[in-house]
Structure 1
Amino acid sequence: MTAGFEAKKSPWRFAVAPMMDWTDRHCRFFHRILSRHALLYTEMVTANAVIHGDRERLLGFDPAEHPVALQLGGADAGALAEAARIGEGYGYDEINLNCGCPSDRVQGGQFGACLMAVPDQVARAVAAMKAAVAVPVTVKCRIGIDDQDPEAGLDAFADAVAAAGADALIVHARKAWLQGLSPRENREIPPLDYDRVLRLKARLPHVPIAINGGIGSLAEAESLLAARDGVRLDGVMLGRAAYQSPALLREVDPVLFDAPAPVAGLAEALEAFIPYLEAQLAEGVRLSAMTRHLLGLFQAVPGARQFRRHLSVEAVKPGADARVLREALDRVIRPAAGRGELAA
């Protein structure tokens, strides 16, 4: 399989990870301006919230966000199947089951990373979701939890969900320690083990497998996508790096998909965001709820600090509108005039 074929055919070649309190619909809309090909994910939504809660608030998204996947949290096969069916009805391109989150709230509900200890239960949930929807059903997991052996444990988990029909497995290449580490520490302290994910792919060559965890640049993503000893992963997923430095997303299409960047530069990306922003303001959305996703856009560009400060201070004020964003952008454009940073 050639890299060109992968770039066109693998839905998981590059994705932005689902992140609680970060990857909401406003974030995803802006990320889509920067890349036409990246697969975007929602924040995790529990199955019971989807079934019983405010569905438009929880599931609503702009058609421009496609391709976009809904990540579900839960452990009950019936509830997950019903939530998947509802999500498919809302137009999501994929339903993903979270088996990697280590937060106390998730542990209290006995889902997220806890599910890695019960692969048969996850397999039943995947089978039920597959029977309920026609779109792909995928699973995001860790390489193991607590004292679990990451060789035997991950193999048993992956074998079970693959046999149940999971369309892809996205593996965060760290263990999750459910006792003793906070969710933040679980993203940083357990050591990364990319080789473990490669060994899993070697065992399951016909199962699409993407890798997540600690990937900080497109160069690292390219390296992980390259074949090693005849083993080639199907995709990479970036989390914090893509969110905190969204400018890198503008390079995803030319670097990983042999396609032109969708916008000429970062200033053009913000101009393309303004019509959406104005439409959302008219619906009563606060400006700061949208501009908080833009704060890292101009890292290392002259005027970036002034850009962040202006948005942080002015966007929260009553009546704040698109003029605040244009004023913030002017603080970057003036110092950077003639240097070319904004097109980089």
Structure 2
Amino acid sequence: MQASEPNKKNSYFQAPVFAVAPMIDWTDRHCRYFHRQLTGRALLFTEMIVADAILRGNRDRLLGFDPAEHPVALQLGGSDPQKLAEAVRIAADYGYDEINLNVGCPSDRVQSGIFGACLMREPAVVAECVAAMKAVASVPVTVKCRIGVDDQDPETVLPDFVARMVAAGADAIWIHARKAWLQGLSPKENREIPPLDYDLVYRIKRANPGRFIGINGGIETLDQALQHLDVMDGVMLGRAAYHNATLLADVDHALYGEVAEAPDWNAVRDAMMEHAARHIADGGRLVHVTRHMVGLFQGFAGARRYRQILSSDAARPGAGPDVIAAAFAEVDLPAGPKTQVPEKLTA
């Protein structure tokens, strides 16, 4: 296989890139819409969606998203090149900015489907998948991987894996800087117990100066993100961004140099109320939206009551967007008084 050159015209490759990691059961369209109210520049990822589900399931439900979410990447799971290529063809109509292949998830249900982190043992298969996806894609095709699994030696495995991905045409590689232990550790333990090896990922980047390489794993603050960006092209936060979403409001200034402005929390509130109203009108429930908002306002006066309202009142039958207004009204913001309560918004 011949290596392809990254598509430098695509804004994705204008480093630095800050991304919110794909997280199963968390980074759904409501989560992404919420995160986009806080940062206009971060790259957002879908949850991993299995190629077979796209081929057989409700495509609008699986792939639909609000245009406000751009830039947004679709993460696929699978190990069959033909199925993945067909999933890429189908997804093209939805307008994603990037297609990413999951080679990092360690959960049992992913292993049973022969995709995710277990594919670190099958680099030739992954390369075939990437090449098949690239052949039909009109946007960048990227890979998210681990540094190795189980008893593999990352010093040997990772350089070979990355070289194969580059040769197959991968436009970017996101590396979670931990091994995954597929036997004996839960997915949660796999995010905490295997030691981080940032230096190895740095060496991979230095060995591939013309290729976009991003780093993930154990990064909790924007200061840490900036330190990684001294070496890497991109940095990805997962649970830290989800559980403390307020930090996303500083991304555009801290990483992209935009003018520092206090967040317009009233605008965030109104956007989420309107989004929730549309979702409820379509037959959904308020809690589908608000469950992703609980991590906002950590450390602010009134945050505890904010969380209580979103966790309890939003789950009640018939709950409407006014619950969001009530929660925001409990928060004392650093720049001034509590948020103003708008006129009632109904579903």
Which residue of the partner structure matches residue 235 of structure 2? 236
Which residue of the partner structure matches residue 264 of structure 1? 263
2:89 is aligned with 1:85: yes
Which residue of the partner structure matches residue 163 of structure 2? 159
Which residue of the partner structure matches residue 199 of structure 2? 195
Other structure's SS at 1:332 match: coil
How far apart in 2 are the matches of 1:238 and 1:172? 10
The 5 Å alignment of 1:133-172 reads 133-172=137-176
How far apart in 1 are the matches of 2:334 and 2:208? 52
2:34 is aligned with 1:35: no
The answer (yes or no) to whether the contact 2:329–2:338 under 8 Å persists in 1 is: no
Which residue of the partner structure matches residue 282 of structure 2? 283
How far apart in 2 are the matches of 1:61 and 1:176? 31
How far apart in 1 are the matches of 2:232 and 2:149? 22
How far apart in 1 are the matches of 2:52 and 2:44? 22
Report the AA paired with residue 239 of structure 2. R
Gaps of 5+ in 1: 1-6, 227-231
Deviation, 1:341, is 9.2
Deviation, 1:262, is 7.8
Q: Which moved more, 1:41-50 or 1:8-17?
A: 8-17
Which residue of the partner structure matches residue 71 of structure 2? 67
Deviations 1:44-75 (A, max 9, x none): 00000011111111111001101000000000
How far apart in 2 are the matches of 1:271 and 1:262? 18
Which residue of the partner structure matches residue 6 of structure 2? none
Aligned length: 330
Change (3 A) 1:103 1:88: same
Change (3 A) 1:100 1:12: farther
The answer (yes or no) to whether the contact 1:137–1:166 under 8 Å persists in 2 is: yes
Deviation, 1:317, is 1.1
Which residue of the partner structure matches residue 332 of structure 1? 331
Q: Which protein has the bigger helix share?
A: 1
How far apart in 1 are the matches of 2:17 and 2:80? 30
Report the AA paired with residue 239 of structure 1. G
2:159 is aligned with 1:120: no
Change (3 A) 1:220 1:310: same
Q: Which moved more, 1:163-172 or 1:263-272?
A: 263-272
The answer (yes or no) to whether the contact 2:150–2:181 under 8 Å persists in 1 is: yes
Report the AA paired with residue 171 of structure 2. D
User: Of 170, 180, 197, which residue of structure 1 is paired with 2:184?
Assistant: 180
2:303 is aligned with 1:299: no
The answer (yes or no) to whether the contact 1:99–1:140 under 8 Å persists in 2 is: yes
The answer (yes or no) to whether the contact 1:301–1:341 under 8 Å persists in 2 is: no
Which residue of the partner structure matches residue 54 of structure 1? 58
Which residue of the partner structure matches residue 245 of structure 1? 244
How far apart in 1 are the matches of 2:101 and 2:58? 20
Report the AA paired with residue 72 of structure 1. L
The answer (yes or no) to whether the contact 1:12–1:39 under 8 Å persists in 2 is: no
How far apart in 2 are the matches of 1:281 and 1:11? 38
The answer (yes or no) to whether the contact 2:330–2:338 under 8 Å persists in 1 is: no
Other structure's SS at 2:47 match: coil
How far apart in 2 are the matches of 1:337 and 1:25? 29
Which residue of the partner structure matches residue 130 of structure 1? 134
Change (3 A) 1:171 1:131: same
Report the AA paired with residue 33 of structure 2. F
Report the AA paired with residue 41 of structure 1. F
Report the AA paired with residue 19 of structure 2. A
TM-score (norm 1): 0.92
Deviation, 1:338, is 6.9
Deviation, 1:267, is 4.2
Deviation, 1:272, is 2.6
Other structure's SS at 2:179 match: strand
TM-score (norm 2): 0.91
- Aligned-pair identity in percent equals 57
Change (3 A) 1:111 1:328: same
Gaps of 5+ in 2: 1-10, 340-347
Which residue of the partner structure matches residue 14 of structure 1? 18
